Chain A
Amino acid sequence: MTRRVRIAAGVLFALHAVVLLAGFFAPYDYDEQHRDYPYAPPTRVRMFDPQGRFHLRPFVYGSVQKLPSGEYREDHSRIYPVRFFPDGRLFGVADPGVLFLCGTDGFGRDVFSRVLYGGRISILSGLLATLIALTLGTIAGTLAGFYGGWMDRVLMRTGELFLALPWLYLLLGIRAMLPLHIQPGQAFALVVVVIGTMGWVRPARLIRGMTLTARESAYVLAARGFGASSVYVIRRHILPMTWSVILTQATILIPQFIRAEVTLSFLGLGIAEPMPSWGNMLAEARQYFAIVSHSWMLAPGFALIPLLLGYLVLADSLLAAGASDANQDS
């Protein structure tokens, strides 16, 4: 494992861990509104007070908004020390102090907390959709490659049909047909199923190709000669050959599907308020005033970069490893 891959794996592990433990790392709940602090800038955590005295424990000042400009000024009359492990969270400050590491949105909700909770939705949807796509792709690819004939033709033509489907419009259509009372969990499941179902074709084609090669290999022919059943041959000899493809496809599909979820939520087709996802958070940040005056609203976009890069580096290394194995075999 190269240093580059180790760094990527470390970053991915850290990101997933932080997002998974959002309830611990986030100082606030994702829907907790601080209505006195709309679009508050990131809170400055300080070690020195105005008199230049050093404080061992970091602290923050309160802030007050001026209307109608919406600007904030710090209130130096009182300091709020940062507390660690208050109420089962990693850090926080006592009321009425507030600690917004990445500022707040238009409702005064902590953007940092929402990025962590929103990451759960975006990453989990990427992982689950990949699981669906790879499961469907593996089944379809193996059956098509192993049995050939009409099954191959039906499955591969169906795959082409899926590739031709305008999935965004499909999702719009499905969303319009659903009842108004779709719960956030149902909306999440819908997004995951649609993304996953649309994404099975590419892995299925690759696995079909591998299966076509494997079924003609000597050890498979030998196994069949000894009377092994089709199920046994697929399970024992074909599927293990496809693991490297599945793993590589997973590292390629996960970031693709995370981006797909972000896009759908950005367009208002994914998780609805007040649940955060990186997509619906970025939707608020796309407005001109937000970009110009409240750049911290772009935080979900910045969180996406290391995540997508990490997966791409992993995919690269797996592809390179696969290519070198193939060279050695030949």
Chain B
Amino acid sequence: MEPTSTLVSIAFAHNELNYSEQAMGGTCSGVPHIVAAIGLVAALPFSAAEQDDRLHCATPPGISGGRLVSVSRFEPRTLNWVVASDMGSREVLQFLMADLIHINRDTQKPEPALARSWTVSADGRHWVLDLRRGLQFSDGHPFDADDVLFTFQVIFDERSHSPQRDLLTLEGKPIAVRKLGQYRVAFDLPVARAVADRLFDRVYILPRHKLEAACKAGRIAAAWSLSTPPSEIAGLGPFRLKSYTAGQQTTLERNPHYWKIDAAGRVLPYLDEVTFVVGGSEDNQVLRFQNGESDVINRVSAKDYAVLEAGQSRRGYELRDLGASMEVAVLVFNLSDLPASTSPELRLHQSFLRHKSLRQAISAAIDRAAIVRLVYRGRATALAGPVPPGNHEWLNTRLPSPVRSLDRARQLLTADGFQFRNGQLFDRAGKPVEFSILVSNSTPERQQVATMIQDDLKPLGIRVNLVPMDFPSIGERLTRTRQFEAAMAGFATPDADPNPDLAIYLSSGGNHLWNPSQKSPASPWEAEIDDLMRRQQVELKYGERKRLFDRVQEIMAQNLPMIPLVSPNILVGAKRNLGNFRPSLLEPHTLWNLDQLYWRSPGAGGR
């Protein structure tokens, strides 16, 4: 389960706040500001002479040339960003396109991208963005405000079925976009949003000259398919499409019109080509990386990390454990009203799980420390609440650490009328307590965690049936048919801010997996979460937002509609010869600064 949107944070003191590249300290690097300043000074003569409006990156200059190979788990399904919702497509498209304001994956702060600066009204509803001048798409066509307007028109066109539309629709109303000049655009939000600049991250600007005809004909959703000639596809990203071979690979080539330059005044990116080879599985990714057939590995399990670690020194690659991630593994329960066709057995089992005391007892009985040790070899963190420990700014550190306690679990159950007889737990009506857990059969780690939970609950006399299923079937049961009792799930938040996770916390949200899309909150604690989330959404002061969100985490930890289990560390790797390699906790972990990566010496591990 991947949550969706993006947004918020920062305190306002004046009527209107001005953000610019310089004011925000350089950009695109995450290096100290002083270095950024040096970079800007170095590039100044060039900028002045050429009326250059390109973004100056302060990262250490690299060497141009070479090719980078990455093995992907998934193949792209489309080259049309508007309709792309799969990992394979997004992995490639993010390097072909660019956004107005971008969240730096290193600092986790928004920074200027295609918009060089912006102002925001005191109420946080009206945003005016100044665009960079003189920029060109990868086919050489100039970029201006019309492309921005066109992009938002496409997103809000119902015929496009764009997944972005929901993210840019606030309280049921779309964000209004107005053109104020050739390089100036205004955005009017229907409701105030704290740090709405984060909304623009990954809203990639489309070339109007290429797609307007398809849009007018109502065929935008079908445009830019995998069979579209590369010359027909243009973007503002560091690379452009060179070739796509079905089932094999996608090759990108350097975009000569890219709008970022390095500290030495050289146009980025450094690499001539990037190839995404379709691997299909983590095993394949690991094997190819180990054999030197790929140059980076974006995400690897702790067990495969241990295998790769053994050959680290002699095979010329380096691995990095980035620590606690932005991901959480949870055991989610079905607390919604079940459809009439539901079996009596499922109804009975759900009636057990509706008891808060049982959910709390299950949580107390789970040995998270053992999960961390056995499944993740110590490279994970046991969770006390729903926010991953990698999200330092928003984590409620006052939640008690999760320690296994069977005594506490038994106390909770007996206090609520459950009885233990002959090693089995019975509810007040004398029914034996049991339930099933759906688990994806393509995620070995989650299967292992589920098996451990099954074993952990034995001493409480709770019988657990594991039901391995393919991932789409689980998704179908969780989001549509609701035919499940409990399921292993994972959430990977795309941003450090809580607002992208609104769909999880709000009772009306589609990702509120324990009881999604409610018309009105089914329980008082869900109503309180709704209220808190809505308040933090419009609150502009970080401290107050943090206080509100801390309370949300407390409520979640008390009521446990989904039991937080562990957050795995981000484990990545790359060839040692790859310059500027600075993996981040946020996706895409390894290639977020692909435009700045370079081969230190083409002979030693470079291509």
Q: Which residues from chain A sit less than 8 Å from chain B, CB to CB?
A: 31, 33, 35, 38, 67-70, 106-108, 176, 179-183, 268, 272-274, 284, 287-290, 292-293
Is the C-beta of B307 less than 8 angstroms from some C-beta in chain A?
Answer: yes
Contact between A69 and B309 (Cβ–Cβ < 8 Å)? yes
Q: Is the CB of A179 within 8 A of B343?
A: yes
Determine the chain A residues whose CB is within 8 A of the CB of B467 once the complex forms: 180, 182, 272
Q: Would B448 and A107 count as touching, CB distance under 8 A?
A: yes
Complexed CA–CA distance, A31 and B447 (Å): 15
Instruction: Tell whether, in the assembled complex, residue B466 and residue A273 are in contact, meaning their CB atoms are under 8 Å apart.
Output: yes
- In the complex, the answer to whether A68 meets B287 with C-beta atoms within 8 Å is no
Give the residues in chain B near A292, CB-CB below 8 Å: 307
Indicate whether A287 sits within 8 Å of B444 (C-beta atoms), given known contacts A69-B306, A180-B483. yes
Q: State which of B155-163, B199-207, B449-457 sits at the interface with chain A.
A: B449-457
The answer to whether A70 touches B306, judged by C-beta atoms less than 8 angstroms apart, is yes
The answer to whether A288 and B286 have CB atoms under 8 Å apart is yes
Q: Which of B249-257, B368-376, B579-587 contacts A (4 or more CB under 8 A)?
A: B368-376
What separation, in Å, do the CA atoms of A182 and B457 have in the docked complex? 19
A300 to B345, CA, bound (A): 35
**Residues in A whose Cβ lies below 8 Å from that of B484:** 180
A31 to B452 alpha-carbon distance, docked (Å) = 11
What is the CA–CA distance of A68 and B452 in the complex, to the nearest angstrom?
Answer: 19
In the complex the two chains form, what is the Cα distance from A289 to B306 in whole Å?
8
What are the residues of chain B within 8 A of A273 when measuring CB–CB?
447, 450-451, 454, 466
Knowing that A182-B465, A272-B467 are A-B contacts, what are 12 other residue pairs whose CB atoms are under 8 Å apart, sorted by A's residue number? A35-B367, A35-B370, A106-B375, A176-B473, A180-B467, A181-B346, A272-B466, A273-B447, A288-B304, A288-B307, A290-B303, A293-B307
- Report if A107-B374 is in contact (Cβ < 8 Å); known contacts: A179-B343, A274-B451: yes
Residues in chain B near residue A38, CB distance under 8 A: 373-374
Q: Is the CB of A67 within 8 A of B286?
A: no
> Does B302 touch A at the CB level, under 8 Å?
yes
Interface centre among A35, A68, A179, A183 (most CB of B within 10 A): A68
Which of B345, B448, B452 has a CB less than 8 Å from the CB of A179? Answer: B345
User: In the complex the two chains form, is B483's CB within 8 Å of A31's CB?
Assistant: no
A-B contact pairs, 25 of them (CB 8 A): A35-B367, A38-B374, A67-B373, A68-B302, A69-B306, A69-B377, A70-B306, A70-B377, A179-B345, A180-B346, A180-B467, A180-B483, A180-B484, A180-B485, A181-B345, A181-B434, A181-B465, A182-B467, A268-B468, A272-B466, A273-B447, A274-B454, A284-B444, A292-B307, A293-B307
Across the A-B interface, how many residue pairs have beta carbons closer than 8 Å? 89
Tell me the bound Cα distance from A53 to B349 in angstroms.
60
Contact (Cβ within 8 A) A180 B465: yes
Evaluate contact between B306 and A293: CB separation under 8 angstroms. yes
Task: Tell which of A31, A35, A272, A287 touches B303, judged by Cβ atoms closer than 8 Å.
Answer: A287
Find the A residue at minimum CB distance from B477. Answer: A180
Report how far A108 CA is from B473 CA in the complex, Å: 30
Of the residues B343, B370, B468, contact of A272 by C-beta under 8 Å: B468
Establish whether residues B454 and A289, one from each chain, have CB atoms under 8 Å apart when the complex forms: no
Inside 8 A of A289's CB, which chain B residues have their CB? 286, 301, 303-304, 306-307
With a cutoff of 8 Å between Cβ atoms, the chain A residues found around residue B465 in the complex are 180-183, 272
In the complex, chain A residues whose CB is within 8 Å of the CB of B434: 181
Interface of B is mostly: helix
Contact residue among B301, B306, B441, B455 (Cβ-Cβ distance under 8 Å from A107): B455
Expressed in whole angstroms, the minimum distance between the Cβ of B163 and any Cβ of chain A is 28
A42 CB to closest chain B CB (Å) equals 19
- Please, which residues of chain B bring their CB within 8 A of the CB of A176? 473
- B145-165 Cβ-contact flags toward A at 8 Å (1 or 0): 000000000000000000000
Question: Across the interface, which residues of B come within 8 angstroms of A108, CB to CB?
Answer: 374
Q: Is the CB of A179 within 8 A of B374?
A: no
Q: Which chain A residue has the least Cβ–Cβ distance from B284?
A: A288
CB contacts (< 8 Å) of B307 on chain A: these are 288-289, 292-293
Tell me which residues across on chain B come within 8 A of A183, comparing CB atoms. 465
B379: CB under 8 A from chain A?
A: yes
Is there a chain A Cβ closer than 8 Å to B521's Cβ? no
Is B605 in contact with chain A by the CB < 8 A criterion? no
Which residues of B sit under 8 angstroms from A31, Cβ to Cβ? Answer: 455
B245: shortest Cβ distance to chain A, in Å? 25
Chain A residue numbers with a CB within 8 Å of B309 are: 69
Bound-state CA distance A131–B282 (Å) is 41
- How far in angstroms is the closest Cβ of chain B from A190? 14
Report whether A33 and B287 are in contact in the complex, using a CB–CB cutoff of 8 Å.
Answer: no
Tell me the complex Cα distance, A276–B286, Å. 28
| Bound Cα distance from A35 to B373, whole angstroms | 9
Q: Hey, which chain B residues are within 8 Å of A33, CB to CB?
A: 452, 455
In the complex, chain B residues whose CB is within 8 Å of the CB of A179 = 343, 345-346
Q: Is B416 an interface residue (CB 8 A)?
A: no
Best-surrounded residue of A268, A290, A293 (most CB of chain B within 10 A): A268
A287 to B349, CA, bound (A): 34
Find the B residue at minimum CB distance from A31. Answer: B455
A38 to B434, CA, bound (A): 27
3 nearest CB pairs, A to B: A288-B283, A289-B303, A268-B441
- Chain A residues whose CB sits within 8 angstroms of the CB of B28 once the complex forms: none
- Min C-beta distance of B82 to chain A, whole Å: 33
- In the complex formed, the residue of B with least CB distance to A184 is B465
User: How many angstroms from the CA of A274 to the CA of B370 in the assembled complex?
Assistant: 17
Instruction: Please state if A35 and B283 are interface contacts (CB–CB under 8 Å).
Output: no
Check if B186 is an interface residue, CB within 8 A of chain A: no
Query: Which residues of chain B are near A69, meaning CB under 8 Å?
Result: 306, 309, 377
How far does the Cβ of A280 sit from chain B's closest Cβ, in whole Å? Answer: 9
Contact B455 A180 (CB under 8 A): no
Q: Does B378 contact A (CB under 8 A)?
A: yes
0/1 interface trace, chain B 268-292, chain A, CB 8 Å (1 if under): 0000000000000011001100000
Residue in chain A with minimal CB distance to B451? A273
Task: Say whether B436 faces chain A, with CB atoms less than 8 Å apart.
Answer: yes
> B346 contacts A67, CB within 8 Å?
no
Considering the chains assembled together, what is the distance between the CA atoms of A200 and B206 in angstroms?
A: 61
| B364 at the binding interface (Cβ < 8 Å) | no
Chain A's closest residue to B455 (CB) is A33
Complex CA gap A38/B372 in Å reads 12
Chain A residue nearest in CB terms to B321: A68
CB of B129 within 8 Å of the partner chain: no
Determine whether the beta carbon of A288 is less than 8 Å from that of B287. Answer: yes
B438 at the interface (CB under 8 A from A): yes
Residues of chain B within 8 A (CB-CB) of A35 are 367, 370, 373-374
- Contacting residues, chain B, for A268 (C-beta < 8 A): 441, 468
Q: Are A106 and B374 in contact (CB under 8 A)?
A: yes
For B378, give its contact among A67, A107, A274, A288 (CB under 8 Å): A67
Complex CA gap A108/B375 in Å reads 11
Shortest distance in angstroms between B303's beta carbon and chain A's nearest beta carbon? 4
A218 CA to B282 CA in the complex, in Å? 67
Q: Which residues in chain B, 379-407, are within 8 Å of chain A measured between CB atoms?
A: 379
Q: Tell me whether A107 and B451 are in contact (CB under 8 A).
A: yes
A184 CB to nearest B CB, Å: 9
